[in-house]
Structure 1
């Protein structure tokens, strides 16, 4: 088949220079599908190139040159959407168009309409009724787009988790929804553990990721382990607030903000060198980084939310009640203080990662899309 993938952001090299889970998902799946089909990706322009290739994937840039944003930026996003739809003029014989996030869902639908092709949406989260809570006033745009797309005739919704699929089924025909978990491109890194007990966290610094809960937990852990270290990778609108909280709790010597780390392998080296990985987020579609941590034999502590419980297989880590920083601190201390448990969690994590290989998930995804033409 000839497949066109529409994603707001995509790496501009095979160094995986990307910012979030949706982009990791899209990158891995584009490469996976390119082993079976011809794949073209439409994405935002970042830099001078208008088009380029990554392995067998052809990438075409749309809209104006712009950096990464998670919310707002309405004008540039609308320009991207408009230009992406206009690319139907240069795309030929496309059999399937796939959208990868709320900005690209209506684009994928319009493109498929103009190209007379099938359309599928790779669905990570359903946020109907939750947009403004998760994103503030700018979430109204997302709420509008999601309600719009649910009224359209989409051929297939491919959810990243059963949790997301169950939420989709509240709004769309459940014969048009399936679950195919994310491909996880397991990092091939190996690094020594840090000299001091260390927690790592990889997250966009937005409110619903609840990194503030981790910072408060570190303050409690410090009472028992004064040398505790915490390395936070990510940027976002909450960064200044989180740094101020760190100062208020006198944790400047314990918490390090590493900002955006460009190379994915460098991110994974931090996770690999840490004793515990933490994901305090209360909103996730899947939780790729949890499985990456499992593959690196770094036990995790995460908020007990259905998608992360599902993706982890309830192996390789411990959970805490969302937003409860006291229980978060307790679970981290449990892992750090129990060597036998630590080893058990490492073994469990390695077993679970085998469910998400390129071969296993790539085959499921390919069969799902080919089913549209059988």
Structure 2
């Protein structure tokens, strides 16, 4: 099977969830003898085409800034998609399959243009479906974002969603539910289980983007509320984002500010894992999660996971009864934090639940979907 992955950002030069997924699935397929090529921006030095862990990385455009004013750049996405066209068109007959990463949409549309009139199927991977979130993200330009998302959803292709929640949201603007396959995101369970815990860890940990829908402010308030009854408890917050300054300022106003540490963004993934391994509780009251990989990572690290119960979050699907769900409100979150810090554990062992998301399993599921697309049996 000769597969082309399309992603303007390429792991390990840019370290995000979508590009990490492509890398982990791609290198496992390559190890089985499949030919894997990732078409992306050339964030590396040297030749345009290089080999990385058995996967061919093909630079179709030079590195570029991905964000403008804290939002993904539309001009960057269009530029990449335009530059992708001649390279993918030149090699399309060599590929049995094209797998395009969704956001920022335009590369999917460009990939479809290239595959038109060929026997090469197009598969997409949906990490999130934004729907009304476009209003918050783009303001008066939201109708443009919604239109592109809907156009992409209705472009003929084979869709994979990373969770049932994401699949259900996709049906609101595009394909029928029985046309959507669900293949979760993954993690290296062995890597997490063998990581040495941080020497100076925290009792409660958050790791993720500091954005409004993550509701880290609720976690700060809830921790401060229970800190009197847990006099030795500490909270660590890992991450960066548009809410960082406001959250740091809010933390300083709390009664127990001395027990809250804002660590910012940690460059090394192993450092994040080390803090997870050292923590007793991992809490993330986010109300919008297309999957929520940090929940799975924290379960693999044997944390008691606390997540928000919300219809736009896949947290309940990811953790099931191997963690605790709570309404995204300060008092409710504080109550569950108190129980977890007192030693209350979920019904199912978190580490056992985490193993279903190991990359080996995810790669097998993805390969089965890719073969069905090629065989026409999807």
Is 1:168 the counterpart of 2:184? The answer is no
TM-score normalised by the chain length of structure 1: 0.87
Residue deviations 1:132-170, cap 9 Å, x none? 23565565553232111123211x111111222222233
Match of 1:272 among 277, 281, 290: 277
- 1:25 pairs with 2:21: yes
8 Å CA contact 1:182, 1:288 repeated in 2: yes
Match of 1:74 in 2: 74
Tell me the CA shift for residue 62 of structure 1: 4.0
1-structure distance, mates of 2:148, 2:119: 22
Matches within 5 A, 1:252-331: 252-305=257-310, 306-315=313-322, 317-322=323-328, 324-331=329-336
Q: Does 1:121 align with 2:124?
A: yes
Instruction: Report deviation, 1:327.
Output: 1.2
Contact kept, 8 Å, 2:10 with 2:43, in 1: the verdict is no
Q: Could you tell me how far 1:203 is from its partner in structure 2?
A: 1.0
Q: Are residue 108 (structure 1) and residue 114 (structure 2) matched?
A: no
**Corresponding position of 1:219:** 224
SS of 1:167's equivalent in the other structure is: helix
- Give the drift of 1:195: 6.0
Decide whether aligned partners of structure 1 residues 183 and 108 sit closer, same or farther in structure 2, where only a CA change above 3 A counts: farther
Deviation at 1:296, TM superposition (A): 1.1
C-alpha deviation, 1:67, in angstroms: 4.8
Q: CA RMSD in A?
A: 2.6
Contact kept in structure 1, 2:198 and 2:274, CA below 8 Å: no
User: Cα distance, 1:33 vs. partner?
Assistant: 2.9
- What is the CA–CA distance in structure 2 between the aligned matches of 1:194 and 1:280, rounded to whole Å? 26
Which residue does the alignment assign to 1:35? 31
2:145 to 142, 146, 149: 142
Change (3 A) 1:75 1:190: same
TM-aligned CA deviation for residue 283 of structure 1: 0.8
Task: Give the TM-score taking structure 2 as reference length.
Answer: 0.86
Aligned match for 1:54, one of 52, 55, 70: 52
Cα distance between partner residues in 2 of 1:143 and 1:252: 41
Contiguous gaps of at least 5 residues in structure 2: none
* 1:23 counterpart SS class: helix
CA distance in 2, matches of 1:271, 1:197: 9
Query: Structure 2 vs 1, CA of residues 329 and 132 (structure 1 numbering), >3 Å: closer, same or farther?
Result: same
Specify whether residues 364 and 197 from structure 1 end up closer, same or farther in structure 2 by C-alpha distance, changes over 3 A only: closer
**Aligned: 1:133 with 2:136:** yes
Structure 1: 5+ residue runs without aligned partners? none
Identify the residue that residue 5 of structure 1 maps to in structure 2: 5
Count of aligned pairs between the two proteins: 363
The alignment status of 1:157 with 2:159, answered yes or no, reads yes
Deviation of 1:99 (Å): 1.5
> 1:47 Cα deviation (Å)?
5.0
Q: How has the CA–CA distance of structure 1 residues 349 and 53 changed in structure 2, closer, same or farther, with 3 Å as cutoff? A: same
Give me the whole-angstrom Cα distance separating, in 2, the residues matched to 1:245 and 1:138: 31
